[in-house]
Structure 1
Amino acid sequence: PPLIIGGGWSGLAATVRLAEAGQKPILFEAAKQLGGRARTIKWQDLEIDNGQHLMIGAYQNMLDLLQRIGIEENSVFHRKALDLHILDSKFPPLHLSANRLLPWQLALLPRLYSSLGWQELRLFLRLARQLNAPSYTHNITVEQWCRQTGQSARLITQLWGPLCLAILNTPIEQASASVFAATLRDSL
């Protein structure tokens, strides 16, 4: 029988697909619960959610798995337009919001301009223009991509770092720029 190592979303999806194809897969998971990085953990007397803090439309495999096992997306998720308020003691607040009526690039521009000003907005757009050009992000980290596109310390600290951690559950020093770019492109 096929052996699946790891009971995260990918391992669970592979197991379901193999079972649907008539196979009898065996799933191995070292942790006490399934879910991979997306799980609740106990720390002292608290239960802490660890994993994806933004469920975005780019997670097509996860949405497909939920559908395959009979869970309707709208019964567990409520889709909303982007509305982020990012606070940091070193920088002024950053507010990003969009609406579903405009393409994300146009919807974000007024908020970005009012939060960042023209110079940092130009830096943001420099990186955003590369979302559709995979050659710019091949084999580099998100941090390297930010540096190559001249992103300011504020944009890295307040926007790209937290957004990468929330979307990929990986810090920018380790996260793949190609995966991050593809996820942003597919979700926005």
Structure 2
Amino acid sequence: MTFRPTLESHSGAENQSWWGAMLVGAIFIVAGLFLLGDVVAATLISAFVIGIVLLIAGAAEVFQAFAAPHWRGFVVRLLIGLLYAVCGLMLVSDPARASVVLTLVFALSLIASGAVRIVQAVEYWQWYGWLLLASGIVGIAAGLVILSKWPASGLWVLGLVVAIDLVLHGLWWISLGGRLRHERSAIPA
């Protein structure tokens, strides 16, 4: 016996899902555009929020180190927790300086991951390797552009990346909502 939902059993949920997706998308896009208005403030806020999260993660890791029923790995957990907490404290206490360091790490990560993608493009050429190649070249170029403007880029890069990510993610949600709405209208009554 197979289960076949009827139109009545899911029509309310489908109606809510398409407009809910579009609403989330619109909120993301508005937030991204708002952040694009002041990428320096967005960078500082992002660094501060990351710092809070690291402080919480550090405290949880230290607590876990002492709360574990066995002592195996205690020192490693304790050191990781303390490292998280110290990094979080640095981000919270001076988000501007910390964002400069984060931007340097981000630029170097882009360059390294771009190089890896270029090497992988050769290996996976028959499976759209040209996309990996293009992605690797763009990653390296972006990392070099950020490094060429560093340390000043540390005050705006993170905010710009977060803002663009919100706008693109919002566009995806709106596209999903449109697709759900279209599929809903395609169901015969």
Structure with the greater relative contact order (CA < 8 A, sep ≥ 6): 1 or 2?
2
Shared fold (TM-score, shorter chain, > 0.5)? no
Q: Which one has a larger percent strand, Structure 1 or Structure 2?
A: 1
Per the shorter chain, which TM-score range? under 0.3
TM-score by length of 2: 0.22
* Structure with greater proportional helix content: 2
Give the TM-score taking structure 1 as reference length. Answer: 0.22
